[in-house]
Amino acid sequence: MSGLHYDEFRLAPFLRSPGRRTAVCNEVVSAAQSGCVHLSFKFQLAEQTTVVWETVVGGRCLYLSIVQLPEGSKEAFVSLLEYAEEVLGCSHVLICFKKDRSDRAMLIRTFMFLGFEVIPPGHPMAPANNDHLYMLYEIE
């Protein structure tokens, strides 16, 4: 993968000052618009529960593969959507997960509730992969 790799764990010490935070955000947005950037988002849901989402931002789209969805992570996911819109300037969020997951129906319902739509195979924004289901969220 070309472009930059940003990891929330490594960036945390540098993002404590508002000026540095703005500079890093500008650098990430600039890199995402001209190529792609790998971003790791870490959310502390409870004392013993943390969720980490690995994403790629390319153009104005945030791509996210759903591997696990811990209980209580809905609010953290909504925060991720807000960050994609307000900070990264994304116009779309594309999620994918394996079609053979036992919780597939629940995932589809959950993400449809959040405004995602299932997109068909061959859709211009979905990679060619028959093992995965893709859902798209359009940021207005």
Low-confidence ranges of the chain (pLDDT < 50): 1-23
pLDDT at position 15, please?
41
pLDDT at position 105, please?
95
Structure tokens at 82: 């807000």
Please give the domain boundaries of the chain with CATH numbers for all domains. 4-138 (3.40.630.60)
pLDDT at position 45, please?
78
Query: What's the predicted TM-score (pTM) here?
Result: 0.75
pLDDT at position 22, please?
45
- 57-87 per-residue burial string, b: 16 or more CB within 10 A, e: under 16: bbeebbbbebeebeeebeebbeebbebbbee
Tens of pLDDT along 35-64?
Answer: 688 888 888 877 888 888 888 888 889 999
